[in-house]
Structure 1
Amino acid sequence: MEEHKNIEIKREEKTNNSFVGATFIKYAAYIIIFFGFLWFLIKYVFPMF
């Protein structure tokens, strides 16, 4: 008599939503700072020349 063993392997791929959110906020802040710097250059520095 032959025995068959069923082995189930469950793998859960979890994305850490707090990590994704923190990364998004970090890069959004970088972009806002970058555009703020560009606005400062255009508004105040370039008119001096």
Structure 2
Amino acid sequence: MNDTICFDFRNQGKDMQENKDVERREVEEKRNSSRVQATFIKYFAYILIFFGFLYFLVRYVFPMLR
């Protein structure tokens, strides 16, 4: 008895491709220079206000405490 086993490999590749869940991720580089400039101006204003407040304390408030 010569038993041969035949497999049908034609649809196996298609089934394997259909069963795969592929998640695609797109990475966008943020190059919005106006947003960077606005942030820089905002933090520069914070620093300027902070040093202005310190100047006010040193110049006017501390001499009154003596």
Pick the TM interval, shorter chain.
0.7 to 0.9
Aligned residue type for 1:24:
F
Query: How far did residue 13 of structure 1 move?
Result: 1.9
Across the aligned residues of Structure 1 and Structure 2, the Cα RMSD in angstroms comes to 1.3
For structure 1, the 5+ residue unaligned runs are 1-10
Q: 1:43 aligns with which of 39, 52, 59?
A: 59
Q: Give the one of 10, 14, 18 matched to 2:34.
A: 18
Q: Distance in 2 between matches of 1:12 and 1:27?
A: 26
Instruction: Structure 2 unaligned segments of length 5 or more: list them.
Output: 1-26
TM-score by length of 1: 0.72
Give the helix-richer structure, 1 or 2. Answer: 1
- Equivalences, count: 39
User: Given the two structures, how large is their TM-score scaled by the length of structure 2?
Assistant: 0.54
Letter in 2 for 1:30: Y
Identity across matched positions, percent: 72
